[in-house]
Amino acid sequence: MLFQRFAATVGVVLAISGPHPATAAEPIKIGEINSYTRLPAFTEPYRKGWQLALDEINAKGGVLGRKIEMIRRDDDGKPDTAVKIADELVRRDKVVMLAGTFFSHIGLAVSSFAKQNKVLFLASEPLADSLIWDKGNRYTFRLRPSTYMQAAMLAKQAAKTGAKKWATVAPNYSYGKEAVAAFQDVLKKLQPDVEFVDAQWPALFKIDAGATVRALEAAKPDAIYNVTFGSDLATFVREGNLRGLFEKRVMVSLLTGEPEYLEPLKTEAPTGWIVTGYPWYAIKSPAHDKFLKAYQARWNETPKMGSMVGYNTMLSIAAVLAKAKSTKTEKLVDAMRGLTLETPMGKISYRAADHQATMGAWVGWTAVENGQGFMTRWHYVDGADVLPSEADAAKLRPAN
């Protein structure tokens, strides 16, 4: 009698539980670190970009039969905070990889953590060449074109101007220093008789624009290479316009054509500067059209360069998971080497030799129309066309 009651109870349990589907697989957790409060002009569009791609990927079932979950954290623009967050994400939240960061010194700090703790780190934005060259490691890969790549794109256009005497202005940290060094190196190879007569190194986001402009004027250069961005760029442009610094001078400027930096200047936007940027309003390709429509429909705003970086970051994460068929670190790292994927910018690959993606950039000239700055006469430069060969790049990296 007791056995019959037990059997009946089991039958009820099986009847209740049997027809129901199994519990959904746990999501794949990714740790995302960025300077959201420190530089929202870039990082908020970046977040919207990766969120759009994440929604699209998860709507199709995710990867490896599992949804992807992004755990987003704010480093407040501080390297030590970023490293602390990285440790929490890996040890407490059990993320399978890290992604993001904006400032180069923060990217370098997280890269060092990734190496020490053997966790994959996809650096979305930090541009310092040292990230993948002299301080590169097995666990760090970079999406955006580096300072060397973008400086090389600009130097090719600068050489065509025939300007001989150059001055530079750049923020005084790793990104600024490497961006100037790369531009000087490439330009001197293209035009050996150029001379660099002055260099200004304002503290990041603390530029004394009046003093900087006066020093540049005193040097009497034929041309100026600018690497400031964000609020520093806006202050520099306004002071330079006021004092006529840019008149009858060749101006070459890294990142200035990106909407997050150009659009806020409105009628004060410079004209005739040679820049790298993102002319989203004029790019015509099926892949970019699809991205543009989806982004505007999702967020009811136009994209920024950060939007594209965020979107491509998430596409890269999904692609490496699919290629590795695993969430194990060493398999993910091996899969990242040579990973190729389609993006709204076209096909990109992560080079095995130095872990740099071949994502490119648009180069053109600034102009103002209807009270708004934009890029004109632009062209797209494939990142592969301005990188050293993989053999030469491998020599730039430490033995790991």
Pairing of strands 340-343, 346-349: antiparallel
Question: Which residues sit opposite 277 in a β-bridge?
Answer: 257, 362
- Residue 398 inside a domain? The answer is no
Same domain for 58 and 126: yes
Inform me whether the pLDDT recorded for 75 exceeds 90. Answer: yes
How many domains would you assign to the chain? 2
Same domain for 140 and 79: yes
Inform me whether the pLDDT recorded for 91 exceeds 50. Answer: yes
Same domain for 152 and 111: no
- In this prediction, residues 23-38 reach a mean pLDDT of 91
Considering only residues 399 and 90, tell me which one the structure prediction assigns the higher pLDDT: 90
Same domain for 184 and 117: no
Residue 383 and residue 361 in contact, taking contact as beta carbons nearer than 8 Å: yes
Instruction: State percent of the chain over pLDDT 70.
Output: 94
- Residue 338 inside a domain? The answer is yes
- Residue 391 inside a domain? The answer is no
- Return the pLDDT at 202: 97
Whether pTM > 0.85 for this model: the answer is yes
Same domain for 231 and 129: no
Inform me whether the pLDDT recorded for 2 exceeds 70. Answer: no
Pairing of strands 340-343, 250-257: unpaired
- Return the pLDDT at 399: 75
Same domain for 128 and 242: no
- Residue 10 inside a domain? The answer is no
Which CATH number covers residue 115?
3.40.50.2300
- Return the pLDDT at 27: 97
Give the pLDDT band (50/70/90) at residue 6.
very low
- In this prediction, residues 279-303 reach a mean pLDDT of 98
pLDDT tens digits for 128-171?
Answer: 999 999 999 999 999 999 999 999 999 999 999 999 999 999 99
CA angle 218, 224, 226 (to 5 degrees): 120
- Return the pLDDT at 363: 98
Same domain for 48 and 85: yes
- Return the pLDDT at 11: 42
Same domain for 264 and 183: yes
- Return the pLDDT at 16: 37
pLDDT tens digits for 38-65?
Answer: 999 999 999 999 999 999 999 999 999 9
Same domain for 160 and 186: yes
Instruction: State percent of the chain over pLDDT 90.
Output: 92
CB-count burial class (<10 Å; 0-12, 13-18, 19+) for 59:
exposed
Residue 73 sits at φ, ψ, to 5 deg, of -135, 150
pLDDT tens digits for 250-284?
Answer: 999 999 999 999 999 999 999 999 999 999 999 99
Same domain for 274 and 200: yes
- Residue 3 inside a domain? The answer is no
For the ranges 2-11, 223-232, 325-334, 385-394, which has the lowest average pLDDT?
Answer: 2-11
Give the pLDDT band (50/70/90) at residue 24.
low
Q: Can you state the percent helix, strand and coil of the chain, rounding each to 5?
A: 45, 20, 35
- In this prediction, residues 73-83 reach a mean pLDDT of 97
- Return the pLDDT at 8: 43
CB atoms within 10 A of CB 56: 15
Inform me whether the pLDDT recorded for 3 exceeds 80. Answer: no
Same domain for 380 and 347: no
Same domain for 163 and 242: yes
Residue 89's domain spans which residues? Answer: 28-146+284-360
- Residue 274 inside a domain? The answer is yes
Residue 252 and residue 226 in contact, taking contact as beta carbons nearer than 8 Å: yes
Inform me whether the pLDDT recorded for 312 exceeds 60. Answer: yes
- Residue 20 inside a domain? The answer is no
- Return the pLDDT at 25: 87
Average pLDDT for the chain = 93
Inform me whether the pLDDT recorded for 341 exceeds 50. Answer: yes
- In this prediction, residues 13-37 reach a mean pLDDT of 70
- Residue 70 inside a domain? The answer is yes
Report the greatest alpha carbon distance in the chain: 104
